[in-house]
Amino acid sequence: MRELYTKAVVLLAVLLSSTMVHSQCEEITIESLSNPGVYDVATLTEADGLRNGPDYFGATVYYPTNGTPPYASIAIVPGFTASPESVEAWGPFYASHGIVTIIIGTNSIYDFPEARAEALLDALETLREENTRNASPLLGAIDEDKFAVSGWSMGGGGAQRAAVLDNSIKGVVALCPWLPNPDLDHDSAVVIFSGQNDAVAPPGIHANIHYDNTPESTNKLLFEIENGNHSVANTPEGGNSSVGKIALSWFKLYVDQNDCYCSLLTEDLLDNPQEASNTESSFECEVLDTQENVSQTILYPNPTRDIINISTQQDVRYTVYSTLGQLMLSGELKGNLKQINLSSLAGNIFYVRVNNETFKVLKTQ
């Protein structure tokens, strides 16, 4: 039974990837990268039953309360002598865009990058355990194949080193990273932010070297903020909000594996950005043509409370799947009036497949 379910999920993923380009990508714009995003956010701490990891000190998990799991995740650690509050703005920002975020402290504020790398890996272990903890609101809601790490200053250097230590990490967001003589042989897609006037981790001996020492085969991006100091990337608002928009787009593209964000990066955010004093990049992604395969079939209203009307002259077969790939409804419709009744389903997002086209539909309560 489990094998059949897995095959159904894989089949659904294949079908969606080939037919939902237009409906998905048209919702992804520069405006959709706003702070905050569309989801409500709640937090978890050790007082709520969160694991106390031995390689870090204290943690807060930020998570969306009304998103659609399973969620991708990111772990974030601060810099030398700094507290988690120095980077806490990233927690609600990421979570409001559907990303589970754990921000940790260090066992010693004087920990060097390698210890911060171990702390990040321990934080990811906490998320794995949260995914199986019966009392957790995130039980079964975390995609353990979509983890990223991030950090500021020595934490940024630690994030790069964490990717070297754990090759399952899909992405790195390094915030003005500090790490001399770095060994960064990993294939985790990495975006490196730096400040032009950073006196603590000058780009010429830190961020730029990190970029150069990351393999050419790794998708990588360096974004230096004009007149930026060492804390210019501590919040998503850095660089006139370019830091948050680029970090989110990079995460969605390479960790969440959503190719719709490729064009936002290549055609908008990185096309002669006014906020940057220097950019370098070596990455590949698929720019999707949102004008291809535009549907001649219309489903309305969307969102809906119960009835979906299908505007097409053809007889149709339809199936309705949950976001986890479960078949919820199916049938055949003929004649002029074609309707699908969703009243038996709870409010949620569903994928409605009509003949060879698939649509994302929001059913309200």
Architecture of domain 27-282: 3-Layer(aba) Sandwich (3.40)
The torsion angles phi and psi of 279, rounded to 5 degrees, stand at -135, 145
Query: Is 271 an active-site residue?
Result: no
CB 62 within 8 A of CB 103: yes
Say what the pLDDT of residue 322 is. Answer: 84
pLDDT band at 359 (very low <50, low <70, confident <90, very high): confident
230 among known catalytic residues? yes
What one-letter code names the amino acid at 244? G
Read off the pLDDT of each residue in 357-363 and give the average, rounded to a whole number.
Answer: 86
DSSP 74-117: EEEE--TT--GGGGTTHHHHHHTTT-EEEEE--SSTT--HHHHH
153 tagged catalytic = yes
Catalytic residue among 96, 136, 153, 231: 153
Give per-residue pLDDT as tens, 175-197. 999 999 999 999 999 999 999 99
Q: What is the pLDDT of residue 111?
A: 98
pLDDT-based confidence at residue 289 (cuts at 50, 70, 90): low
Residues in CB range of 132: below 8 A, 6 or more apart: 139, 140
pTM, two decimals, is: 0.77
Question: Does position 236 have pLDDT exceeding 90, yes or no?
Answer: yes
CATH class in words for 1-26+295-365: mainly beta
Closest Cα partner for 258 from 11, 33, 9? 33
Per annotation, catalytic residue among 55, 111, 122, 198: 198
The whole-angstrom separation of Cα 210 and Cα 197 is 17
Q: Which of 97, 186, 206, 230 is catalytic?
A: 230
Per-chain mean pLDDT for the chain: 90
Q: Cα 202 to the chain's mean position, in Å?
A: 28
Domain definitions of the chain by residue range:
1-26+295-365, 27-282
> Quick one: which of 124, 140, 134 has its CA closest to 172?
124
* pLDDT tens readout for residues 145-177: 999 999 999 999 999 999 999 999 999 999 999
Kindly report the number of other CB atoms within 10 A of residue 281's CB atom: 14
Answer yes or no: is pLDDT of 56 > 60. Answer: yes
Looking at residue 24, its pLDDT comes to 56
Q: How high is the pLDDT of residue 21?
A: 45
Predicted confidence at residue 139, as pLDDT, reads 96
